[in-house]
Amino acid sequence: KNQVEQSPQSLIILEGKNCTLQCNYTVSPFSNLRWYKQDTGRGPVSLTIMTFSENTKSNGRYTATLDADTKQSSLHITASQLSDSASYICVVSAGLTDSWGKLQFGAGTQVVVTP
């Protein structure tokens, strides 16, 4: 069973509108949670990294939140632009001493912004 679940699988939003993506995880012990943006046919690009003690972190129009108690995170996109069309991937890092296999990837949410 995947330890990182993202919802929705996909969504379509109008340019200029806001949207929120969800990430639930069961990874334990927890070290940090990351959000990546992946354009079609390209490699993922890091948006935010949050540790246990951080509740929110922003990167331009992207704001990530973390509730480590409920093991939930969200990514909020404000005033969406056509360039926001991409897959958004939630990645949770386990607090393991061995780096191998620490990162657990969600399947991503495909966002399409329409004019």
Partner 1 sequence: SQTIHQWPATLVQPVGSPLSLECTVEGTSNPNLYWYRQAAGRGLQLLFYSVGIGQISSEVPQNLSASRPQDRQFILSSKKLLLSDSGFYLCAWSVRDRGDNSPLHFGNGTRLTVT
Contacts to partner 1 by CB under 8 A: 2, 4, 9, 31-32, 34, 41-46, 49, 51, 89, 93, 95, 99-108
Judge contact between 112 and 61, C-beta under 8 A: no
In this structure, what token pair is assigned to residue 65? 């939140």
Terminal CA-CA length for the chain: 37
Cβ distance to partner 1 smaller for residue 21 or 80: 21
Q: How far is the CB of 91 from partner 1 (least distance, A)?
A: 8
21-45 residues labelled b (16+ CB within 10 A) or e (exposed) = bebbbebeebebbbbbbeeeeeebe
Judge contact between 64 and 47, C-beta under 8 A: yes
Q: How far is the CB of 101 from partner 1 (least distance, A)?
A: 6
Q: How far is the CB of 94 from partner 1 (least distance, A)?
A: 9
Cβ distance to partner 1 smaller for residue 63 or 109: 109
Cβ distance to partner 1 smaller for residue 18 or 51: 51
